[in-house]
Chains A and B, each alone.
Chain A
Amino acid sequence: MEPVIAANGLVKKYNGKAAVKGINFSVEQRECFGILGPNGAGKSSIAKMIYCFSPVTQGDLFVLGMNVREKQRSIKERLGVVPQENNLDTDLTVLENLIVYGSFFKIPTRTVQEKSEEMLGFFELLDYRNEKVDKLSGGMKRRLTIARALINSPQILILDEPTTGLDPQARHLVWQRLRRLKEQGVTLLLTTHYMDEAEHLCDRLVVIDEGVILEEGQPKELVLKHIGKEVLEVGRGAEIVDEILKVGGTDIKGFKIVGDMLFVYPEDGQTLIDRLRPISDSFSHQMLRHANLEDVFLKLTGRGLVE
């Protein structure tokens, strides 16, 4: 089946400075595709080109088989957009926000009204339908922004950092709803700098940094491929890294130094802990935990995702 989004040699420059440096990727129908990277990696630039807000500088970008350079109105007709910054209409009520937004699509007024009610129910906002937007909490504003993006029953929903700035509870509510949408057959493309968000939601993702794709694959596979199952964090391990490697021997598959911390990728965590016991007095602490995408990013770039 033809991909719903296809980027080929995609470049975005702002005043000659490249934010996206010739990337290739494709998104299949009904999948949740993630773009994971730190702030300033080029995630929003990619999202904005897909929803025809930012012009493409070079390369090709096709959405639903249409060129973003030519068919902007037709593409936008079938997309839902959740921008990074909430831009709800503060002059209008919650319900009016959906209805007015819906009026820009080729949908009958009656359908817009029904869909608005349905979306407010789906995002648990019905009680606030006649409130001004300013009265809503951060989490509710975000849910309303997503509800608004769904008013035209889009084939693809673009979410630019959907949960940045939300508290954990609000994030989980958003995630639940996004999973339900995926079950209903909506293709999701989301950018995020939260590795747990990417792991929770994405079937497939690209890891990007400074405008280039570093890796691509399923979250679990990427972690297994680069790190393994577990990570042993050794406090102040950086100072005695040679000794640790010597004692650990073949039980250590790889490692990464960050500040005075040492991240060790063991064959088997408990075995390694036992083996390092003779020298463990010189660690400030040690912790064995599951490996995650943050470790992958750290290994690939030497930096964390959230600075």
Chain B
Amino acid sequence: MNVYRPDLSPLIWQVFRRHLLVYSRTWKVSLSFNFFEPLFYLAAFGFGLGAYVQPMEGVSYVKYLAPGLIASSAMFATAYECTYGIYIRMEFQKAYQAIIATPAGVDDVVMGDMLFGAFKSVLYGFVILLVIAAIGLVSSPWALLIPPVLALSGLLFAAVSATWTGLVPNIDSFNYFFSLIMTPLFLLSGVFFPLTDMPVIVQKIAWISPLYHLVNVTRGLVSGMVGIYLLEDVVWLLITAILLIPIPIFLLRRLIIK
């Protein structure tokens, strides 16, 4: 057996269903908490600060900002799920150990967790999309394509977050993950301002940010300014996700199986 190759079975869906069952109890509370934060950003930056800011890329600042918040709130929802969520199930609830005694293997469990992380991206991003559509900030039906893109980027964010969990399995370490990785991504991936006027080095760094590519896509789809260049971003997300997904499976398996 090749240790680097994930050993997956359809039982990953049962793992996913277990998480969905638990989430169906708490979704109202957890969804509203995660949902208010981007709205605060939208209110403070979009409407507040936006009143003093000149139009960006030809649209009002709030219209510029809104699609970026779809992407960032999707990213954060998945990142929480695949750091704290995985860690608590693995370390405190020993849920991994229980499921592995069934025909499901550890790889199935990790993959199911990442799928659920991706599901949260779709859900939280979609809710923000609905809200900004309701207040008239969506100008194109292309926006309907956003959920499948969120599913793809969600898998990528899940892989990145679960990799951190596999490398530094310690609840305190997740603070560093959010302050050192997630927050800079959030600030420097084109959510708040275009990167075209930034120094070349910043643009180069942004290119390796998954959020940057997702923001490009959501902004394009929401505004209706769609072109073949958006496919580049989607392909970037796809390839990176495929490359990164096996890594947390390997790392977490190593933590659990001794």
**Interface residue ranges, A against B (CB under 8 Å):** 14, 51, 53-55, 72-74, 76-77, 79, 81, 83, 85, 87-92, 96, 100-101, 103-106, 149, 152
Contacts and interface: CB of A to CB of B under 8 A. Distances in A.
Interface string B23-36: 00100000000000
Interface in B80-99: 93-95, 97-99
B93 to A, nearest CB: 6
B22 A92 contact: yes
B19 to A, nearest CB: 9
Given A100-B21, A103-B14, A53 B93 contact: no
Contacts of A72: 105
Contacts of B98: 83, 87-89, 101
A14 B14 CA distance: 31
Interface of B: 9, 11, 14, 17-18, 21-22, 25, 93-95, 97-105, 257-258
Q: Is the interface of A mostly helix, strand, loop or mixed?
A: loop
Most A C-beta atoms less than 10 A away, residue of B94, B98, B99: B98
A158 B97 CA distance: 15
Contacts, number: 63
5 contacts: A76-B101, A87-B95, A89-B95, A100-B14, A103-B18
B9 A73 contact: yes
B54 to A, nearest CB: 49
Nearest to A91: B22
B157 to A, nearest CB: 23
A104 B104 contact: yes
A106 B258 CA distance: 27
B1 to A, nearest CB: 8
B18 A100 contact: yes
Nearest to A74: B103
A87 B257 contact: no
Nearest to A106: B103
B101 A51 contact: yes
A186 to B, nearest CB: 16
A54 B100 CA distance: 11
B18 to A, nearest CB: 5
Contacts of B102: 76, 101, 104-105, 152
